[in-house]
Structure 1
Amino acid sequence: MNEGNKWIVEHDDGSVTVKFDDRPLMIDGTEVKSLLMREPTVNDQLIADKGTSSSPEGEIALIANLCEIAPETVRGITMRQYRRLQDALTGFMG
């Protein structure tokens, strides 16, 4: 899964840690240097697809659910940070 992305660390349970050491996230006023993303289930994908007709909104909902953060938090991060989360999610699908 981790195709050379030094910011993604895989764990034995299928989850990954996505690191933001160089540019930490700000979540509720707290600096966050990493997020744990659990491995998605088929049901997670179905819920994300059902909850919205927009593919980007569904992806945001899925990432938020897997990282246990609010979708609004995902919407507020930079595109560079979001791309890391997208890379982690894409790694589960490959």
Structure 2
Amino acid sequence: MSVEITLSEAVTVKGVVYEALTMREPRVRDSLNADKFKGSDGEKEVRMFASLCEVPPEVFYDMTLPDFKKVQDAFSGFFS
């Protein structure tokens, strides 16, 4: 299962323009891998989302907060 997330503002990283992201359903290994990263909970969250969407973490660093909220909501939707 996967979810399409349309961004209200495109993000460009290393010459690639991201207007939408596809997030796959998370697995236990994704959570375990995110826990291996040192840093804040926010950084771990970004790393998890980058893995699930198969994009560089920098995509999320340059994303607007409202779009990041869409990503968080999409992730939460897998658990409802």
Give TM-score scaled by structure 2 length.
Answer: 0.84
RMSD of aligned alpha carbons:
1.6
Question: Which ranges of structure 2 fall in alignment gaps of 5 or more residues?
Answer: none
Q: Is the 8 A contact 1:49 1:55 kept in 2?
A: no
- Structure 1 segments of 4 or more deviating over 2 A? 22-33
Larger RCO (CA under 8 A, 6+ residues apart):
2
Question: Which ranges of structure 1 fall in alignment gaps of 5 or more residues?
Answer: 1-13
Q: Is the 8 A contact 1:25 1:32 kept in 2?
A: yes
C-alpha distance in 1, partners of 2:79/2:45? Answer: 13
Offset of 1:15 from its aligned partner? 0.6
Offset of 1:31 from its aligned partner? 3.6
The change in CA–CA distance for 1:30 and 1:71 in structure 2 (over 3 A counts) is closer
Q: Is the 8 A contact 2:11 2:62 kept in 1?
A: no
- 1:42-91 superposed Cα distances (whole Å, 9 cap, x missing partner): 11011101223421111000001111111122111111111111111111
The change in CA–CA distance for 1:73 and 1:89 in structure 2 (over 3 A counts) is same
Aligned length: 80
Q: Is the 8 A contact 1:24 1:31 kept in 2?
A: yes
Offset of 1:30 from its aligned partner? 4.1
Q: Is the 8 A contact 2:11 2:59 kept in 1?
A: no
C-alpha distance in 2, partners of 1:24/1:53? Answer: 27
User: Given residue 52 of structure 1, which amino acid in structure 2 is its aligned partner?
Assistant: K
